[in-house]
Structures are given as C-alpha cells and as structure tokens.
Structure 1
C-alpha cells in the first residue's frame, strides 16, 4: 500500500500551480497589452496619414483638370503603400504577440514539469 503524501505537500503543490497560473496570466496580459498599444499606435499613424492625404486630394481637385487625375493617382498609390506598411506592421505585431505567448507557455510548462517557480512576478509586482 502506497503512503499518501502529507497534506502540506499537496497544499504546496496547489499553491505553486496557482502561482504559476497567475504568472502566466500576468505575462500573457502584458504581451496582449503591449501588442494592443502598438496596434493602436500603428492605426493612429494610418488614420493621420489618411486625413493628410484626403486634405491633399481636396486641394488637388481645385487645380486644373489635367493635373487632377495624375495627382490623385499618385496620392492613391501613396495611400496604398501606407496601408501595405500598416498591414505588414500588424502582421509583425501579431506574430510577436503569438511568439511571446508561445514562449510564456513553454516556460510555464518547464516550471510545471520541474516543479519550480518563476523568479519574478506572480501578478502582484511589476517587471518588464
């Protein structure tokens, strides 16, 4: 008959698991918040660029008809380039977010398998 582990060890293991889960949630929240801030910044830049280009487009419409079509085409190409850069930045940010989450999951799995705890932060301290 196998001897049951003492209640103290069970409580310690459950506490460790809760602390690791709190650490994982904290790290994932930080990764999400960082990615959301970067996405908001990139979107803000895109919106400012759109407003600026729309303003230029209205000015061009007041000019001669011949120049009008050529300038509008140039601005639309510039807007498309800005949109492409925004999309590339978004993909990069999302990839970084997933990479950070994967890294956190991997570290958490390592902590769980070895029974050790992270040396930093359990949801109530600040680290970068």
Structure 2
C-alpha cells in the first residue's frame, strides 16, 4: 500500500506556491520556504527510493542464498546416493567375481576328473590289448580285423 501512496507522491507534480503580492520580503520568504519544502519532499522521496531498493536487493540476495543452499543440499543428497550405489555395485562385483572364480575352479576340477577317467580308460584298453595279444601269442591264433579295411 505504501508503494501506491509514494508513487502517487512521485507522480503528482509538486505544486509551487503562488507568490503573494504583499511585500517583496514576504515574497522572497515564501519562495524560499516553498523551495525548502520542495527540497524536503525530494529528499524524502530519494531516501524512500534508496530504502526500497536496498530492501529489494536484500530480499533478492536472501532468495539467491536460499536457492544456493537448496542446490548444495540436493547435490549432497544425490552424491551420497551415488556413493551408496557405487558401494553396492563394488560389493556385487566382488561377490560375482568370487562366484566366477569358484565356477572356474569347479570346471577345472571337472576337467581334471574327466582327464583322469580318460587316462584310466586308456590304461584299461592298453592292458586289455596287451592281454589279448599275449593270449593270441600263446594260442597262435591271428586276431580278426575289426576294421573292414584288411
């Protein structure tokens, strides 16, 4: 409401008092008083204007400060969430790495077992072939060809 009243004061032209036609000393005094009153009003308006500008600046500065504080708190919250997520990911990565190492070890163990079985089977077949060869030598019988090539 004060804005309207003051702006009305500023918008209205300051009235100059009309000099009285009595004596020249009285006219000079009235003119000086009118000038003094005019300066007083102008000074008051200037002071009010500066006060309003300062208030507006302070209000804007406070709002900018509030926005900056809000921004910083939001950034901090997001960064904290990011760190938590990164920690979870690192933990999962370590867990999956361990699982994969265990799987590789299990595969290696299975491969070793299969190799051992192949070697055992080979040994059995070699032994069987040697026994059959010894039997054929002892009896003098020539073995039949298992392959149709001969």
Q: TM-score range by the shorter chain?
A: 0.3 to 0.5
**TM-score (normalised: structure 2):** 0.40
Q: Which has the larger radius of gyration?
A: 2
**TM-score (normalised: structure 1):** 0.46
Q: Which has the higher contact order (CA 8 A, sep 6+)?
A: 1
